[in-house]
Structures are given as C-alpha cells and as structure tokens.
Homo-oligomer: A and B are copies of this chain.
Amino acid sequence: MFKTIEWTEEGVRLIDQTRLPAEEVYRTCRDYREVAEAIRSMVIRGAPALGIAAAMGIALGVKQSAARSVAALRAEFETIAETISRTRPTAVNLFWAVKRMREVLERSLAHEGSEAEKLAAARARLVEEAQRILAEDIAANETLGQHGAALLPEAGTVLTHCNAGALATGGYGTALGVIRAAVAAGKKIRVFADETRPFLQGARLTAWELAKDDIPVTLITDNMAGHFMQQGEIQAVIVGADRIAANGDVANKIGTYTLAVLAKENGIPFYVAAPLSTIDLHVASGDAIPIEERSPREVTHWAGVPTAPENVEARHPAFDVTPHRYLTAIITERGIAREPYTETLKALFG
C-alpha cells in the first residue's frame, strides 16, 4: 500500500499526487520551503493531509534551524509557520497544525533547563508531535469510518466528489474511510466518482485508490451526477471537507454545493465526513471562510494541452460553501452531528 506522507531521516516523503495515476513516484522534501512548495503545487492536497504536511514541514524547519537561542528559535518558527500558512487559505487543518505545533514549542521551551537543553527538547518534541498528528489522523479516520459505515445502506451506490481518501489524509480517508469501513463490514457498496474538474482528483486519485482496494468504482463527469440521482442510481452522497464553520456550513472542493442541492432535490442523504481538526469553531458561518482562487490555466489546459481558445478568460474558485441546511449529517471521529450544528458541533469538542 502507498503512503501519502511520512517522516524520514532525509525529510518529508510524499507520494506525488500531480503524477498519479500515470506514475507512482515519491518525492522527499528536504527543507520546509520544499514542503510549502509541495502544498502550493498540490503534490499533496486534502485538508487532513495538509495539516500533517504543515506539521512535518514545521518540524523539519525547526530541526534544521541554526537558532542558538530561544528567541531566535521562536522567530524562526514564525517564519516557517508564515511560509507554510501562506500556501493555501481554505483548508483549516493547515492553521490548526500550526497552532498545535506552536503550543508544543511553547511547552518545550517552558521546561526547566539550559537554553541548549530547551532548544534540543523543542526540536525533538516537534518531530514527535508531527508524527503523532499523522498517527492520530489515521486513527481518527478509522473511528470516523466506523461511525459513518452505519449510515450507509446494506447495498447501494454512493457518490463521492474530489478525493477524500487515503491520499487526502494520513491514510484510510474520511469519505472513503466511511466507504472502506462499510465494505469491511460486509455492505455491498459501489462508488460513483465524480472526475472533479479541473484537477481531476476523482478521476486520478479516487478511482486509483479504490481500484487498489478492489472497491467497485465507476467514473463519471461532474455534470452527470444529477442525471444519475434523477435516475435513482445513487443512494447516498458522501464528501470530505476543507473547513466546517461553527454553524455547520461546509467549505469543500468546488462542485460540492451543486451535489448537495441535487441530493436534496432528489431526496438522497448528503453526508460530510471530517475529523475535528477540520471544524473551525472560530468561524461563525461559511460566509467567513476564505475561498482560494487558483490559476485559470488549470481550467484552460489539461496535461499541457489547451482545452479552450488561447487567451480565453476563465475563473477558478477551488472551493465552494454548502450551507448546513443541505446536510443530512456530519460524521466525525467523536460521533455524528446533526442539526442544530451550532450546538452539536460544539458538543463534540466538550
């Protein structure tokens, strides 16, 4: 089985998601700037995976830091954190990881001992913490998967969008974790995967990782999902999330809002699967979630081949916001939240 991300002595090792499924190649980021660049260029993507990558990038930066004083290390930490935070604005896991790593840094520096001992402790603890974040994420997905599997039918077709699988997390996946758990429990689940333009995460990543697990998957273009819902061929929709606001509004890959509207119109349950690290109680509603606009070139070209006339104007919002009223439930590692989300999400953290 592939590893989405791992800590090695040489640096942070990633499977290169821009080259899947044609090639299964790994890339090792040897300093934090390379980690930031890997995030920006989508070598790694998916909210939970970005949290892990951010933590490992920070650990790598601090480990390699030449700082000889607590003040210098703190300053360097902030430089690293700033570089990593600036890569992608929507997925909250990035900022969640930075905050968690900063807390570990401060706890390490607060221990008794010489300045050199504090610096050594901080470096060691940040590396441990990044690895712990990875391990916890996999465990969270497995638990979340168990909770969610109970919601899926004994047999049926589940539609998913983008990739909320092992490739979007430390392993196992959120939306695909629910599907994996349901299949492991003996349910007869087939998956329809939206190809997910423009980056084709569904075609390139979801189809690839489900095929590896022998879970039946059928690829469709994004604009076919409504038709198959209307035809009664889809029994549930399940997606991941990049950020969930306190009121349950969900920022996720562009196209998610459309699926939620279609599911509601066709009386099909619409589930969001995400770990607590994706829930941002500091953001009251989806209106306040920043939506990344990526390069129009990602819309007008595929594999270097133009799909449109030269110089055509294009837009590329990478995410949209699904208002909470469209959700059937949010599936987390601490259980399942339903309306009123302002209360139920808060309670999960209790």
Q: Are A207 and B312 in contact (CB under 8 A)?
A: yes
Q: What band does the interface of chain A fall in when counting residues whose beta carbon is under 8 Å from B? A: 35 or more
Q: Are B195 and A307 in contact (CB under 8 A)?
A: yes
Chain A residues proximal to chain B, CB less than 8 Å: 21-22, 194-198, 200, 203-204, 207-208, 211, 216-228, 230, 254-255, 257-258, 261-262, 265, 296, 299-300, 302-303, 305-310, 312-317, 320-321
Interface centre among A197, A198, A302 (most CB of B within 10 A): A197
Expressed in whole angstroms, the minimum distance between the Cβ of A179 and any Cβ of chain B is 16
Given contacts A203-B307, A308-B204, contact A197 B217 (CB under 8 A): no
Contacts of A230 in B (CB 8 A): 257, 320-321
A217 to B314, CA, bound (A): 8
Q: Are B197 and A195 in contact (CB under 8 A)?
A: yes
Expressed in whole angstroms, the minimum distance between the Cβ of A303 and any Cβ of chain B is 5
Contacts of A226 in B (CB 8 A): 255, 257-258, 261, 320
A306 to B22, CA, bound (A): 8
Contacts of A314 in B (CB 8 A): 218-220
Chain A contact residues: over half helix, strand or loop, or mixed?
mixed
Contacts of A262 in B (CB 8 A): 258, 261
A200 to B310, CA, bound (A): 15
Contacts of A221 in B (CB 8 A): 197-198, 222, 254-255, 299
Top-5 shortest CB links A-B = A223-B255, A226-B258, A197-B221, A227-B320, A203-B308
Point out the residue from B219, B261, B316 that lies within 8 Å of A261, measured CB to CB. B261
Q: Are A227 and B299 in contact (CB under 8 A)?
A: no
Q: Are A219 and B320 in contact (CB under 8 A)?
A: no
Given contacts A204-B307, A262-B258, contact A222 B220 (CB under 8 A): no
Interface centre among A194, A197, A306, A307 (most CB of B within 10 A): A307
Q: Are A222 and B223 in contact (CB under 8 A)?
A: yes
Point out the residue from B223, B257, B261 that lies within 8 Å of A194, measured CB to CB. B223
A230 to B262, CA, bound (A): 14
Expressed in whole angstroms, the minimum distance between the Cβ of A15 and any Cβ of chain B is 14
A312 to B183, CA, bound (A): 19
Point out the residue from B203, B220, B308, B320 that lies within 8 Å of A195, measured CB to CB. B308
Given contacts A21-B309, A230-B257, 8 further A-B contacts (CB under 8 A): A207-B308, A217-B313, A219-B313, A219-B314, A224-B316, A224-B320, A226-B261, A230-B321
A-B contact pairs, 14 of them (CB 8 A): A195-B197, A195-B299, A196-B223, A200-B307, A208-B308, A208-B309, A220-B314, A224-B255, A224-B320, A226-B257, A226-B261, A230-B320, A258-B258, A303-B303
Contacts of A258 in B (CB 8 A): 223, 225-227, 258, 262
Expressed in whole angstroms, the minimum distance between the Cβ of A211 and any Cβ of chain B is 6
A211 to B309, CA, bound (A): 9
A187 to B265, CA, bound (A): 34
